[in-house]
Amino acid sequence: MSIDSPSTSRSAALFERAQQSIPGGVNSPVRAFRAVGGTPRFIARAEGPYMWDADGQKYIDYIGSWGPMILGHGHPAVLEAVLKAAHDGFSFGAPTEREIELAEEIIRHVPSIEQVRLVSSGTEAAMSAIRLARGATGRSKLIKFEGCYHGHADALLVKAGSGLATFGHPTSAGVPPEVVQHTLVLGYNDIEQLEAAFAQHGPELACVMIEPIAGNMNFVRASVPFVKRLRELCSQHGALLVFDEVMTGFRVALGGAQQVYARALPGFRPDISVFGKVIGGGMPLAAFGTSRQIMQQLAPLGPVYQAGTLSGNPVATACGLATLREIAKPGFHEALAATTRSLIDGLSTAAHEAGVPFAADSEGGMFGFFFGSELPQNYPAVLATDKERFNRFFHGMLERGVYLAPALYEAGFVSAAHSPADIAATVQAARGALRAA
Ligand code: KE4
């Protein structure tokens, strides 16, 4: 099966040209299709649940800019807010009322936070959350989990050391070993490793950072017992529990994954929360938040420095605020969750009919699927699924007008603009792609 049909000629030409002036032809690696092969589609425009590429090919979009486009592309209320804000001014480098409104809106939906600081990317928010946790506790060490991605700040580009005694090794060139020497990488959902790490390092731990539903391993849930134990150990040892909700925040539920876990663990709250994607509505905007007492450590009040020229940008905050106001409307997440569930049920039925081992899961507007007999519970289990079949399925769907995440290790996203007809068309495309894969 050719993975580049003739309809990609303009994308192919643009990709060739892009590689002259931009490394790899892209401004973020996953867009280059290197995990799945073939020519990345250069997108010309998008509307509702659809994108059109440079060759005029139409796709049902399940990337949604990797999560932000929860309303679909070009929602009229959001577009109106952005255009008005742009007319009032792009950026002032001074405080604005809308930053207060957005901060209040975020705090309104996330009971665990009393104050937020707005920044321009999830990386910046996660990096700042680590620095804040270290400043607030006076400790240096942190725990992250294999398979979780928290942006590309140096201290977080780290892979597991050999055993619990040795701390992390850099996953990227350009990150000196001493920068990741305080980062311990544990197995996701591995309670025993967690217990041992706290027994060995508890008093030195500033924080534990986790993706509560790991969308950077496609879709892997932290088990309720694991989250319960994590919360207990952090509290017991005075380490701060950081929920990286850049992907899950306002996406899996209005209150994010912490709201989902609080249903199973009454009273559950992380200490620090990191947000991005949805809160910007597609514009560069992210945030981190926690108690007022911890946030007082931040400049200009406290000793933990953090800053940004475009933090709280007037146009980005208009986009984010309009988005949050729409998704806060009654019934929004219930409807989104139902649409997403109908998608994965349809895909699962199609795979079953094709006799293909397939496992899928969703929460709110986020979903994932694997070519394997059961849902993986950790990164090694994700690696053990059939990546080659995933890649063939990806291209089979792309050729049939369905744009899925171009990598096994990525989640998928449904918007409020996806109609039952779009879901049915997607499932129909899957029937063909599964036969071909
Ligand atoms: P950004 O710096 O890309 O805005 O956010 C970093 C980040 C932090 N935390 C989580 C849980 C994330 O998923 C991300 C970014 N997600 C990727 C998708 N896996 C963005 C896509 C890309 O890298 O181009």
pLDDT single digits (tens) 276-318 = 999 999 999 999 999 999 999 999 999 999 999 999 999 999 9
4 pLDDT higher than 70 = no
Minimum mean pLDDT range among 78-92, 154-168, 397-411 = 154-168
Are 205 and 198 a contacting pair, CB within 8 Å? yes
Nearest C-alpha to atom 6 of ligand 1 is from which residue?
151
5 pLDDT higher than 80 = no
207-221 mean pLDDT: 97
- Cβ of 49 less than 6 Å from ligand 1: no
Nearest C-alpha to atom 9 of ligand 1 is from which residue?
150
Question: Which superfamily is assigned to 6-74+330-436 in CATH?
Answer: Aspartate Aminotransferase, domain 1 (3.90.1150.10)
Q: Where are the domains of the chain?
A: 6-74+330-436, 76-327
The Å distance, Cα 325 to ligand 1 centre, comes to 23
Q: Which value, in Å, is the radius of gyration of the alpha carbons in the chain?
A: 21
- Cβ of 151 less than 6 Å from ligand 1: yes
The Å distance, Cα 384 to ligand 1 centre, comes to 23
Give the DSSP H/E element, type plus range, for residue 39. none
417-434 mean pLDDT: 98
At 432 the pLDDT is 97
- Cβ of 273 less than 6 Å from ligand 1: no
Q: What are the tokens at 22?
A: 């931009």
At 167 the pLDDT is 75
From CA 355, how far away is CA 257, in angstroms rounded? 33
Which is nearest to 142 in space by CA: 242, 249, 291, 271?
Answer: 242
pLDDT single digits (tens) 154-168: 999 998 766 666 677
At 317 the pLDDT is 98
- Cβ of 422 less than 6 Å from ligand 1: no
350-364 mean pLDDT: 97
Which CATH number describes the domain made up of 76-327? Answer: 3.40.640.10
Give the DSSP H/E element, type plus range, for residue 258. helix 257-264
Could you identify the residue written with the tokens 């063939």?
Answer: 392
pLDDT single digits (tens) 312-331: 999 999 999 999 999 999 99
Are 138 and 204 a contacting pair, CB within 8 Å? no
Backbone angles phi, psi at 194, to 5 degrees: -65, -50
The Å distance, Cα 149 to ligand 1 centre, comes to 7
pLDDT single digits (tens) 14-39: 999 999 999 999 999 999 999 999 99
Q: Give the DSSP letter string of 348-405.
A: HHHHHHTT---EEEEETTEEEEESSSS--SSHHHHHTS-HHHHHHHHHHHHHTTEE--
Percent of the chain scoring above 70 in pLDDT: 97
Instruction: Kindly list the catalytic residues.
Output: 149, 244, 277
Nearest C-alpha to atom 1 of ligand 1 is from which residue?
122
- Cβ of 121 less than 6 Å from ligand 1: yes
384 pLDDT higher than 90 = yes
**pTM > 0.95:** yes
